[in-house]
Amino acid sequence: MYEAVGLSYNESKKSLIQSRLSQRILKLGLGGFADYIALLEDEAEAAEFQMAVDLLTTNETYFFREPKHYDLLQQELPNFAGKAALSVWSAASSFGDEAYSTAMLLNDMQINGRIGPDWSILATDISHRVLLSAKEAVFPEDRLRAVTPERLRRYCLRGEGESEGQVLLQDKIRQRVQFGQLNLCKPFSGLGPFDVIFLRNVLIYFDPPTKVDVVDRVLATLKPGGLFFLGTAEGRVPCKTPLQTVIPGAFRKLA
């Protein structure tokens, strides 16, 4: 797991790993963890390896998480918008809550004339399963608990009958977000440059050297002066790239 996707677990995570994988081992009819490791090491079992990655990474999220970050975007984005097309990257997008929240905000700002129509959002994740779900854009109502009533009316369709309790995002928001699978721990090319990058709540899975490598690799695609977001609780940014703290969890690239 570490060599392939950078996941790093110490002894304290043993019970978490056991709880996440034990049901899968039973479902496959295997004798135990040793058998499952042998299965994962078989190159012909790439799909099962991806399944294990999905099970070991937590994807709890919701719309407009860390609202002060979105308040900052609303203040700052008009300063970027006059220069060129506005480009945002949600680099650990999970089920798409973060990317779609940003799309709602940007569309509102476009309607109000604060930015132009030329903006785009890229959302990437290592999990194929969560990306498929994100593209469907159907969410439990509770995940949209922080979305204002105005945005719910403007961008969402509430389910009825068998779909009660579910919300479908309208095409005008879905079409603004492009999804793709990406392993942040491996070199990549062809992305960016971006005005804004979110890398929130994913570094917890990496050891310190991997954190630095991932953050610097991601920041290489951010324009000078661009905004970079981590989860507020993640503290200092582990990187060599020069940054300026704007508010907790939000940073400006200096060069």
3-state secondary structure of 188: coil
Position 80 confidence tier, pLDDT thresholds 50, 70, 90: confident
3-state secondary structure of 255: coil
When comparing pLDDT for 186 and 82, which is higher?
Answer: 186
3-state secondary structure of 204: helix
- The residue with tokens 């990655």 is 53
Q: Is 108:150 a contact under the CB 8 Å cutoff?
A: no
Nearest Cα residue to 131 out of 83, 174, 170, 181: 181
Based on the residue annotation, tell me whether 20 is a catalytic residue of this protein: yes
When comparing pLDDT for 11 and 172, which is higher?
Answer: 172
Which CB contacts under 8 angstroms, 24+ apart, belong to 13-19?
A: 17/56
Mean pLDDT of 2-11: 82
How far is the C-alpha of 210 from the C-alpha of 6, rounded, in Å? Answer: 7
Residue 178 has pLDDT above 90, yes or no: yes
The catalytic residue among 97, 125, 195, 213 is: 125
Mean pLDDT of 178-196: 95
pTM for the predicted model, two decimal places: 0.86
Give me 200's structure tokens. Answer: 């929130």
Residues of the chain above pLDDT 70, percent = 98
Give me 237's structure tokens. Answer: 């940014």
Report domain extents, the chain: 11-56, 67-253
Residue 28 has pLDDT above 90, yes or no: yes
Mean pLDDT of 53-81: 87
CATH 3.40.50.150 assigned to domain 67-253? The reply is: yes
Give me 235's structure tokens. Answer: 């503290």
Residue 124 has pLDDT above 90, yes or no: yes
